[in-house]
Structure 1
Amino acid sequence: MRSEFDYITDMLKDFFEQKHIKDRLNVIDLMDITGWEVWFQIEFSYFLSIHESEPEWHRELSFSVDARKEKIKHHVKPDFLIRKKGWALEKYAALEVKLHRSPVSCVSNVLSDFDKVRKIKRSEIDLRSYWGLGICKEHDVVYIEDIIQEKAHDRDYHIRPSRRVVSIIDNTPFSYFII
């Protein structure tokens, strides 16, 4: 699981270091634009398609849920499924993305996605791991880490410090976290 975490975090670090991404985030902030999750997903999809590691990736593939865990919804669509070249065939890491100006809402939304992904039938896909990416308007890294700990504890999730990253997106008012 450590290799998946390192791979995903390294890719996201490279993604957020791009000048054009920072420029767009600043416009999003300046113009108080909402609903920018689709923009992010398009930009990240393009980034994956040209990344030097040549990952295999998919967007929002539909999977059945385990009926023992979910009575209402019948399908789940993770934002991204990523398989690094060299990983076992048909084994993917799921990445769920949430963007919210409020770090509290952002963390809560990422953890809600964890609940969703955990319900996928194991026979549908072999997930190596699943990760949540949150982007919020906050530069106090310790504050974001505290929110992650508190909200994870409230949901009975144990997120080890070695399995999370909180980072400021330089030259923007935003930070991102991976858990």
Structure 2
Amino acid sequence: MKGDFEFLLGLVEEFFGQDEIQNKLNLLNQYEFTGWEIWFQVEFASFLLQHDAVAEMIREYPYSADRRMRGSQTRMHIDFLIRKKRSLRGSYIALEVKQNQSASSCVKGMMNDIHKVWKVKRSEDDLRSMWCLGIYPTVDDEKISQVIDKQSEAAGIELPEHLIQTKQVPNTCFSFTLL
């Protein structure tokens, strides 16, 4: 599991290290655009499709929901399924993405996504691990740690400290958290 986390963290850091992505994030901020999660997903998908360490990437993959846990909803979609090179076919790392102008709302959405993925019908579950990536305007490290603790406790989710990473996107006013 830690290997998958480190793999994803490396991909995310490399993605955000690109000058072009930093410039676009600065434009989004300058013109106060909101709701750019889909833009991010398309850019990140393009990056993954060209990355040497990625064998396969699927975006918006549909799964059946366990109706005992999800009520009347029968289908759900996971933002990204990623298969590392030299890993078993059908062995995917799931990644859910959230973007928000509020760090607290972003982390709350991440917790909701964790609950969503827990409700994948077990007979269809081919996920080797599941992660959430949140992108939001930078707040200080102590504040984001408090937000993560508060939101995870409210959601009843226990997060291992060593599998949480928050970093500022270089040359921007944005940060990301991977958990």
* Shared fold, TM over 0.5: yes
Determine the structure 2 residue equivalent to 1:62. Answer: 62
TM-score, length of structure 1 as denominator length? 0.97
- RMSD, aligned CA: 1.0
TM-score, length of structure 2 as denominator length? 0.97
1:3-152 maps to which residues of 2 (within 5 A)? 3-152=3-152
- For residues 110 and 52 of structure 2, the distance between their equivalents in structure 1, rounded to whole angstroms, comes to 28
Q: Secondary structure at 2:93's aligned position in 1?
A: strand
Alpha-carbon shift at residue 171 of structure 1 (Å): 0.9
Bigger fraction of residues in strand: 2
Identity of aligned residues (%): 37
The answer to whether the 8 Å contact 2:80/2:96 transfers is yes
Q: Secondary structure at 1:35's aligned position in 2?
A: coil
- For residues 29 and 114 of structure 1, the distance between their equivalents in structure 2, rounded to whole angstroms, comes to 28
Runs in 1 of length 4+ with deviation above 6 angstroms?
none
The answer to whether the 8 Å contact 1:152/1:159 transfers is yes
Alpha-carbon shift at residue 70 of structure 1 (Å): 1.2
Could you tell me which runs of 5 or more consecutive residues in structure 2 were left unpaired when the two chains were aligned: none
Amino acid at match of 2:97: V
Amino acid at match of 1:47: F
Bigger fraction of residues in helix: 2
Q: Secondary structure at 1:48's aligned position in 2?
A: helix
Determine the structure 2 residue equivalent to 1:178. Answer: 178
- For residues 72 and 24 of structure 1, the distance between their equivalents in structure 2, rounded to whole angstroms, comes to 39
The answer to whether the 8 Å contact 1:139/1:173 transfers is no
Amino acid at match of 2:95: L
Alpha-carbon shift at residue 142 of structure 1 (Å): 2.2
Q: How many residues align?
A: 179
The answer to which of 66-75 and 13-22 deviates more is 66-75
1:149-164 maps to which residues of 2 (within 5 A)? 149-164=149-164
